[in-house]
Amino acid sequence: MPDGNEPRVALCLPGGGATGAMFQIGALAALEDAVDGLDANQFDLYIGTSSGASIAAALAGGREVQRMYRAFLDPADTYFPLERKHILRTDFAEWQRTATTALRALGKGTKSLLRRAPEPSRTALWEELDRLYDSLPAGVFSLEGYERFLADFLYRRSVPNTFHGMPKELFILSHDLDSGEQVLFGAPGFDHVPVSRACIASMALPPFFSPVRIGDRHYIDAGAAQLAQLNVAVERGADVLVVVNPMVPVAAEQVPTGHGQQKSVRDKGYLWVANQAMRIAMHALLVEAVGRIRASGACEVILIEPEPTDGILFMHNPTSFSARRAILEYAYRTTRERVNGWLVGKEAAVERAGWQTRPPVSRMPPPPLEGEA
């Protein structure tokens, strides 16, 4: 913790899915190379949401970002052996609820229609079928498997799975499903929750992941509302705020799809149309929040994010090693190339944080050559 004369520097990591996490790791590794005095493990305050929560927890717990960078570059590296099965695990309990309640709804609907015999109207038929909407699953996948994976990673890497045990202050943002209220895990009243549990509560994005139960409450990733973490950093006394944001709207003339190169995001179907809508909303809110904080003079803000025209990288399959490597290397390379431009006009922030930019010579070990394990 800094004394009263030292600046309080915070790191905010919004969510962006698996590809967004790759961007954040690559960008932070490059920032350590490019900025003298910047250590990704030495921020005073870490705030993460969704996929950014796991990265924030690892950094706050002292895990080096360069080690994470190398681990994700090498498919044979077992440092963070995340597999598809850890995240995309069908929530069988939720599907069982769906089947049970659907049968119950059909029974009630049938009885209602029989009471309207002999000729129930088409409107009445649709009204009864509407009962089935409430039987749709609350989520397709469960994050319980990922929590076990993350808890095991924290244990194996000697990272505390408690907020009180963390070497640095850590907060994870989520929202209460039934009240709509923002919840800050790590704050008083919510600091008893295991870090791994808080991470999945922040990741539970509808309709993909089922809400996460903690006690008698259910929690979700509230999408664009996660950008409230910037306000949290200001409220917690940050003097300098570094935001590594992977969620920018995609601007691409060529769009990769499973059926060949196309010209519109629409050609990637529902999931990417919804993803683009989320990116548009989040980025608009982020720009507004950063502008408001800068105008207020509350703290200096340094925003690190990809260019919209580079967003095509995020459209590739995140479970693909080649796609993962491309995002990591892109994030590292472009951050090194652009960091001086990003810091133009932010000299006060850099000075307050005690940083100084370095010449563009990487200290990172070179990535493995194509084909190497």
Phi and psi angles of residue 73, each rounded to the nearest 5 degrees, phi first: -75, -25
Q: Looking at the structure, do residues 124 and 222 belong to the same domain, yes or no?
A: no
Q: How far is CA 218 from CA 105, 180, 205, 275, 295, in A?
A: 24, 10, 12, 23, 36
Least confident range from 68-72, 133-137, 145-149, 298-302: namely: 133-137
pLDDT tens profile 168-210: 999 999 999 999 999 999 999 999 999 999 999 999 999 999 9
Residue 213 included in any domain: yes
Q: Looking at the structure, do residues 232 and 115 belong to the same domain, yes or no?
A: no
How far, in Å, CA of 38 to CA of 34, rounded?
9
229: how many CB neighbours lie within 10 A of its CB?
29
> Band of the pLDDT at 370, cuts 50, 70, 90?
very low
Geometric angle at alpha carbon 147, from 142 and 149, rounded to 5°: 115
Q: Looking at the structure, do residues 120 and 210 belong to the same domain, yes or no?
A: no
Residue 291 included in any domain: no
pLDDT of residue 35: 92
pLDDT of residue 3: 52
Q: Looking at the structure, do residues 168 and 119 belong to the same domain, yes or no?
A: no
Q: Which residue range is the domain that position 219 belongs to?
A: 9-82+158-247+297-357
Q: Looking at the structure, do residues 164 and 212 belong to the same domain, yes or no?
A: yes
Contact, 26 vs 329, CB < 8 A? yes
Least confident range from 62-66, 122-126, 212-216, 360-364: namely: 360-364
**What pTM was computed for the model?**
0.89
Q: Is the pLDDT of residue 372 over 50?
A: no
- 67, 102, 135: which is the final residue of a domain? 135
Q: Looking at the structure, do residues 237 and 301 belong to the same domain, yes or no?
A: yes
How far, in Å, CA of 159 to CA of 56, rounded?
12
Q: Looking at the structure, do residues 59 and 184 belong to the same domain, yes or no?
A: yes
Residue 366 included in any domain: no
Closest C-alpha to 195, from 46, 64, 369, 352: 46
Task: Provide the CATH number for the domain around residue 200.
Answer: 3.40.1090
Least confident range from 11-25, 130-144, 205-219: namely: 130-144
pLDDT of residue 366: 46
Residue 257 included in any domain: no
Contact, 161 vs 110, CB < 8 A? no
pLDDT of residue 24: 97
pLDDT tens profile 306-331: 988 887 788 877 777 788 888 999 99
Q: Looking at the structure, do residues 96 and 186 belong to the same domain, yes or no?
A: no
Residue 311 included in any domain: yes
> Band of the pLDDT at 12, cuts 50, 70, 90?
very high
Residue 254 included in any domain: no
> Band of the pLDDT at 361, cuts 50, 70, 90?
low
SS3 letters across the chain: CCCCCCCCEEEEECCCHHHHHHHHHHHHHHHHHHEECCCCCCCCEEEECCHHHHHHHHHHCCCCHHHHHHHHHCCCCCCCCCCHHHHCEECHHHHHHHHHHHHHHHHHHHHHHHHCCCCCCHHHHHHHHHHHHHHCCCCCEECHHHHHHHHHHHHHCCCCCCCCCCCCEEEEEEEECCCCCEEEECECCCCCCCHHHHHHHHHCCCCCECCEEECCEEEECCHHHHHHHHHHHHHCCCCEEEEECCCCCCCCCCEEECCEEECCHHHHCHHHHHHHHHHHHHHHHHHHHHHHHHHHCCCEEEEECCCHHHHHHHHCCCCCHHHHHHHHHHHHHHHHHHHHHHCCCCHHHHHHHCCEECCCCCCCCCCCCCCCC
Residue 207 included in any domain: yes
Closest C-alpha to 275, from 256, 249, 294, 253: 249
Q: Mean pLDDT throughout 94-109?
A: 88
Q: Looking at the structure, do residues 218 and 305 belong to the same domain, yes or no?
A: yes
Least confident range from 98-102, 107-111, 279-283: namely: 107-111
Contact, 11 vs 45, CB < 8 A? yes
Residue 210 included in any domain: yes
User: Domain count of the chain?
Assistant: 2
